[in-house]
Amino acid sequence: MRARSGRWTADELLDLAEDTHHRVELIGGTLLLSPRESVSHQRAAARLAASLSSRAPTAFEVLEAVNVLVPDGLLIPDLVVADAAAAARAGATLHADDVVVAIEIASPSTKVIDRRTKPGLYAAAGVPHYWRVDLDPAPRLHLGRLAPDGGGYLDRTVGPGGSTALTDPFPLGLDPAALRR
């Protein structure tokens, strides 16, 4: 990472050499570095991606760790459900308008950002659904649907033994316990 002063832009971030030790996001002109994910985090992401991919209609595509442009920066959700046609046309980034669901798997280093900062950024970008996965002490899915006024997400939490019982954006019945063996 090079030294510089002032606000960063998404283009400047994308021009940096890939950082193999950190996930680098941009919020309000400031870079946010997070360590790479743990094995348990990656396992949960892979299981959730497989479950979503097997149930998603062809109009949607499930992608892992993709760059998403939001009005105040560039975020890298753990998973997204995106418009398949937009994903096929995309280069290095997806625009938030093409994301139907942004999913973050909270880890010790990201839980505050995932709970407090990112929901507001995704809501401001108009992303219809924001889901957060908490793995500890037991897997829980926080399923957020954008409020009619667009000011935030209305959440419903599903714990182990429960079911997401979703119909929007597509039917999905998932027990969060399936994300961890």
* Calpha distance 100→68 (Å, rounded): 12
pLDDT at 93 over 90: yes
Q: What is the pLDDT of residues 77-92, one digit of tens each?
A: 999 999 999 999 999 9
Alpha carbon 141 to chain centroid, angstroms: 13
pLDDT at 2 over 70: no
Query: Who wins on pLDDT, 176 or 16?
Result: 176
Q: What is the topology classification, in CATH, of domain 38-179?
A: tt1808, chain A (3.90.1570)
pLDDT at position 3: 64
pLDDT at position 37: 85
User: Helical H runs in 20-153?
Assistant: 39-55, 84-89, 111-112, 118-124
pLDDT at position 113: 94
Q: What is the pLDDT of residues 105-159, one digit of tens each?
A: 998 888 899 999 999 999 999 999 999 999 999 999 999 999 999 889 999 999 9
Residues 148, 93, 46, CA angle at the centre, nearest 5°? 80
Q: Whose CA is closest to 66, among 35, 91, 36?
A: 91
For the chain, the domains span 38-179
Beta-bridge partners for 176: none
pLDDT at 16 over 80: yes
- Mean pLDDT for all residues in the chain: 93
